Structure 1
């Protein structure tokens, strides 16, 4: 694989072939990195450093850094503390009809998507946050 686009296409194809649980795991990974990016964007837009957000939220700066880079799988409580300190709340919204019909209703883990990514990269580490 030569490009990130090639890798993405391969991972998506593998997830589709592995079934609904793998597709759900892949979507969960996408959502995790989207939220990480959005957290960093909101913090910066408010003119806060990670240290200032740490002081406001009670969450260690190192954990905020990991969350923003997508390296942390933060607990709900940690995420809620950071969001509240930024002036945000968590709200459940229904998926669009077409997206909901493509997803499994069973809870999933990210194990399946990580296995697909590992096969696609022949075990080399790739950080989607920097790609």
Structure 2
């Protein structure tokens, strides 16, 4: 192996050979490094030092350094604090084919049609405690 591209190809082949769990772990590592890189770029774009971000976010500067260098596996709360301190938030985005969560059903609604559910809802009265 002579290049980073060669190494990346080797790691991807190994993960594929080991199966879905290894591929999921590889993707988790990629996501962790991407988030760390984006937070570091955002901090620098705002002209903040790690110490300044530390004071704003309530996260130790040493932890910020470890996160940005990929040496720490930060908690979601720590990442949220860092992003929020810089005026940003996280959002969930779909990846690949993921089944949509099913909507929760109310107890007792099974087998009832829409009209029956409407009637049952209307017949309930609010009574103060």
Aligned pairs for 1:15-54 (under 5 A) are 15-54=15-54
Unaligned runs of 5+ in 1: 102-131
Cα deviation digits, residues 78-120 of structure 1 (max 9, x gap): 11111110111121111144xx59xxxxxxxxxxxxxxxxxxx
Structure 1 stretches of 4+ with a deviation exceeding 6 A read none
- Once residues 85 and 32 of structure 2 are traced to their aligned partners in structure 1, the CA distance between those partners, rounded to angstroms, is 19
Query: Which residue of 2 is the match for residue 111 of structure 1?
Result: none
The structure where helix makes up a greater share of residues is 1
Query: Which residue of 2 is the match for residue 86 of structure 1?
Result: 86
- Once residues 22 and 43 of structure 1 are traced to their aligned partners in structure 2, the CA distance between those partners, rounded to angstroms, is 32
Q: Does 1:10 align with 2:10?
A: yes
- Once residues 26 and 66 of structure 1 are traced to their aligned partners in structure 2, the CA distance between those partners, rounded to angstroms, is 20
Unaligned runs of 5+ in 2: 100-129
**Taking structure 2 as the reference length, what is the TM-score of the superposition?**
0.72
Query: Which residue of 2 is the match for residue 120 of structure 1?
Result: none
**Taking structure 1 as the reference length, what is the TM-score of the superposition?**
0.71
- Once residues 34 and 76 of structure 2 are traced to their aligned partners in structure 1, the CA distance between those partners, rounded to angstroms, is 16
Question: Which is greater in Rg?
Answer: 2
Cα deviation digits, residues 6-64 of structure 1 (max 9, x gap): 11111100111111111110011111111111011000111111110001011011110
Q: Which structure exhibits the higher relative contact order, with contacts defined as CA atoms closer than 8 Å and separated by 6 or more residues?
A: 1
Query: Which residue of 2 is the match for residue 74 of structure 1?
Result: 74
- Once residues 75 and 18 of structure 1 are traced to their aligned partners in structure 2, the CA distance between those partners, rounded to angstroms, is 27
